[in-house]
Structure 1
Amino acid sequence: MSAFIADWLNILLRWAHLVVGITWIGTSFYFIALDLSLRAREKMNPGVFGTAWQVHGGGFYQVEKYTVAPEALPEDLQWFKWDAYLTWVTGFGLLLTQYYFNASAYLIDKSVLDLRPGEAILISLLTMGGGWFLYDRVCRSRIGQNTALLAIVVFLGIVAASYMLTNVYSGRGAFIHVGALVGTIMACNVFMIIVPNQRKIVASLLKGEAADPKYGKIGKQRSVHNNYLTLPVLVMMVSNHYPLLTGHPHSWLLVALILVIGAMVRHFINRHEGGDHFREISWTLPIAAIALVIAILMTAPRVDPAMAGRAVADADVTAIVRTHCVACHAATPTHEGFTEAPKGIMLESLEDVRRYAALVDMQAVKSEAMPLGNETGMTEDERHILGAWIAGQ
């Protein structure tokens, strides 16, 4: 695939992914907030669990939720599913065009594990499919009947998968696959559980039968899971822009911290919207803050002893940059994946390197984000030499 076509596919898929993803997230946030705002009233229709009064856009709305389902199926029933389906489809399309078609550059790092592109792609597919299967089995087991225990098991499962992925893929490949795994779980919750259960309830109504409340209960459980996973998965999906996350030697621990931060913030917002007093939910904010501070400290810049006081000749830096950087970062790149320098950054001279020294330091010294997939085999000593030269400028 030519770089020009790949770029346009990437742009269109990313645009579509953002649009449908925002819609799905907004729907999830709204319905959880709606559910928590329901109140029992003196006068309610038969079978109604609770109602909520809301105001938006200059209008007032009254919303009802049935304990199980209304006695008869309304003619204009609206289904909320396509935003979830299309979010996964466009996300997988991005994974395909960005990571599968360019597996050697974006997915594989031979210093981590020497894989062939086909092997890397197979591991990707098995991780997403197997992750959903294991998650679903746990939810259906006795563990799934205990909310706190289930949350811990799911958390540990995602962290374990993150550890595995960081020992298989490049830094950015591992992080994006944690997001893909969680996103697959969320989409499958809708496709495999929530919507099918809703269809079972609809089928009962069409037969004139009473709907089984267990289907709504199970659907609600998975919907809540999706809601709590939303904030962490958003960070995973933009992680390729931040080498301080993807390039960290213990990035799987950062995944664990991101899960904690996202879950705590989401719980605080949910319970606040549900009417809980601040003192009842304030415990979530210190936990999120502590996790954030740990993440910041983990990623804080450190001076490598190998760089301290090391004299580096300009010629050595020029040789390193020409070997490992200029194939992509040039006015006319020779790398088959690029028709122009990524982000417009060219490193064809020492003045260029000085101009972008902070970015080079972050991407190629303090992390191994560059070269992509370490295709050129940049060594640790070369990174130390480059870092020492930048520190002396």
Structure 2
Amino acid sequence: MTVVAAILDPYITDWLNLLIRSLHVIAAIAWIGASFYFVLLDQSLEAPTRVEDLRDGVGGELWEVHGGGFYHVKKYKIAPPVLPSHLAWFKWEAYTTWLSGFGLMVVLYYLNARAYLIDPEVADLTPWQAVAISVGLLIAAWVVYDVLCRGFIRHRVVLWILVVAFTALAAWGCAQLFQPRAAFLQVGAMIGTIMAGNVFFNIIPAHWELINAKKAGRDPDPFPGVVAKQRSVHNNYFTLPVVFTMIAGHFAFTYGVERAWIVLLVIMFVGILSRLFFNLRHQGRTIWTIPVSCVVVLVALGVAIRPDQTATGTGSATVSFREVEPIVEQRCATCHSVAPTQSGFSTAPAGVVLDTPEQISARADDIERVVSSNSMPLGNVTGMTDEERTALLAWVVQGATQTP
């Protein structure tokens, strides 16, 4: 794995990161937007008023205004009397999102697994083992979820309980295998794989069943449509939890705490409740206790995981900048430098440079946050010791103003 990482020039990696990430974000916006819109549409339909529509099998309609014009949308119970010559499909957004997301996993995590995926303090894994486990978990996520759906398709409450329990198990398990930031992303990738699998294996085949039945002049099998609707609703609720895992890497205070997997589950739960609020609102049911509950939960979570600054060195001996500077130079500036020496980096991550005393002092609060949460150095690749962490934190708490 390290040989492969060495072959891939860091500057090329940066460009691949930019291009694939841009494609991933654009495709995800399109996919999530379509999901949100069609759930809104489906839950806002009203009974048709025209006799012709009833005769043609229209199950619901909705008048909309947008972009300076009116739109009249109809949904057929099964299919229109005559198939149109052109149909707009909503599948490439899903496929592109998953493929680009997996591409990012390869470029950023798999090809540099020792820095981004593995934490020796969490699990003793080689890069190949970590990558194999990660890919295996993606496959297992779809298989387990699909089996649960097939077995409990008529028991929605039981199915949701089992899906939540499986997600909790996945969050806990990934926390035992990977470094915290990677664990969050792994869980999100597993759910994203489930969502893409729903589109590829269930939703799109159900559409083809409708089209082929209409072309053949036979009644379509209703079961694929029932399954497709169920999986589409699931995808709608999965979206916000997955979005959080996509951005969580920028917020070390969420994944750098003890039992971070519980933090992940709580924030995912808030995301699901948020979608529930809007989905019910589309049906004309506005339940304000839902967003209020979300706020209460987030405030409680914020209080629970707030760092204990009283334990970071206020009572210890004074730590001078001269003691801190070599620690930063050896453990941090190998990546966070104008000219990084750490393999896999061509520029300082997030633009954070720690080359000079002034730059180090200016970033004291950032240093305190990532060091106290153990989120930096990544996978502790530079071998920062507990004593060095304590010294850094004590220096920050004591003022972090001393420079040569």
- TM class by shorter-chain length? over 0.9
TM-superposed CA distance for 1:306, in Å, is: 5.5
How do 1:153-232 residues align onto structure 2 when only pairs under 5 Å count?
Answer: 153-232=162-241
Aligned partners of 2:331 and 2:245: how far apart in 1? 27
Aligned partners of 2:350 and 2:246: how far apart in 1? 19
Among 13, 19, 22, the alignment partner of 1:12 is 19
TM-superposed CA distance for 1:151, in Å, is: 1.7
In the alignment, structure 1 segments of 5+ residues that lack a partner are none
TM-superposed CA distance for 1:154, in Å, is: 1.0
Question: Alignment RMSD, CA only?
Answer: 1.5
Aligned partners of 2:291 and 2:349: how far apart in 1? 39
**Contact 1:135 / 1:185 at 8 angstroms: preserved in 2?**
yes
Partner of 1:274: 283
Partner of 2:368: 361
1:271-298, CA deviations, whole angstroms, 9 ceiling, x for partnerless residues?
A: 112222x3xx233223322321232123
**Contact 2:181 / 2:375 at 8 angstroms: preserved in 1?**
yes
Aligned partners of 1:215 and 1:53: how far apart in 2? 28
Aligned partners of 1:63 and 1:392: how far apart in 2? 64
Pair 1:270–1:381, CA change in 2 (3 A) = same
TM-superposed CA distance for 1:59, in Å, is: 1.2
- Residue 300, structure 1, aligned to residue 306, structure 2: yes
Partner of 1:378: 384
**Contact 2:313 / 2:398 at 8 angstroms: preserved in 1?**
no
How many percent identity over aligned positions?
41
Among 242, 246, 260, the alignment partner of 1:233 is 242
Q: Aligned AA for 2:359?
A: D
1:352-384, CA deviations, whole angstroms, 9 ceiling, x for partnerless residues?
A: 3211001111112x2111111111222223211
TM-superposed CA distance for 1:189, in Å, is: 0.5
Among 328, 331, 335, the alignment partner of 1:328 is 335
Partner of 2:264: 255
Partner of 2:70: 60
1:212-235, CA deviations, whole angstroms, 9 ceiling, x for partnerless residues?
A: 222211101100111111111111
1:324-373, CA deviations, whole angstroms, 9 ceiling, x for partnerless residues?
A: 11211223221122223223322234433211001111112x21111111
Among 321, 344, 354, the alignment partner of 2:351 is 344
- Residue 136, structure 1, aligned to residue 143, structure 2: no
Partner of 1:120: 130
Aligned partners of 1:35 and 1:306: how far apart in 2? 53
In the alignment, structure 2 segments of 5+ residues that lack a partner are 1-7, 400-404
TM-superposed CA distance for 1:90, in Å, is: 0.6
**Contact 2:48 / 2:58 at 8 angstroms: preserved in 1?**
no
Aligned partners of 2:338 and 2:245: how far apart in 1? 31
- Residue 319, structure 1, aligned to residue 326, structure 2: yes
The DSSP-based 3-state class of the residue aligned with 1:144 is coil
Aligned partners of 2:140 and 2:300: how far apart in 1? 31
Greater shift in the superposed pair: 106-115 or 327-336 = 327-336
Partner of 1:102: 112
Aligned length: 388
Partner of 2:316: 310
Aligned partners of 2:83 and 2:157: how far apart in 1? 35
Aligned partners of 1:235 and 1:256: how far apart in 2? 11
The DSSP-based 3-state class of the residue aligned with 2:37 is helix
Greater shift in the superposed pair: 298-307 or 367-376 = 298-307
**Contact 1:248 / 1:367 at 8 angstroms: preserved in 2?**
yes
**Contact 1:68 / 1:212 at 8 angstroms: preserved in 2?**
no
TM-superposed CA distance for 1:159, in Å, is: 1.4
**Contact 2:141 / 2:194 at 8 angstroms: preserved in 1?**
yes
**Contact 2:149 / 2:159 at 8 angstroms: preserved in 1?**
yes
Aligned partners of 2:338 and 2:231: how far apart in 1? 50
**Contact 2:115 / 2:381 at 8 angstroms: preserved in 1?**
yes
Q: Aligned AA for 1:297?
A: V
Partner of 2:4: none
Aligned partners of 1:259 and 1:306: how far apart in 2? 30
Per the normalisation by structure 1, the TM-score is 0.95
Q: Aligned AA for 1:357?
A: A
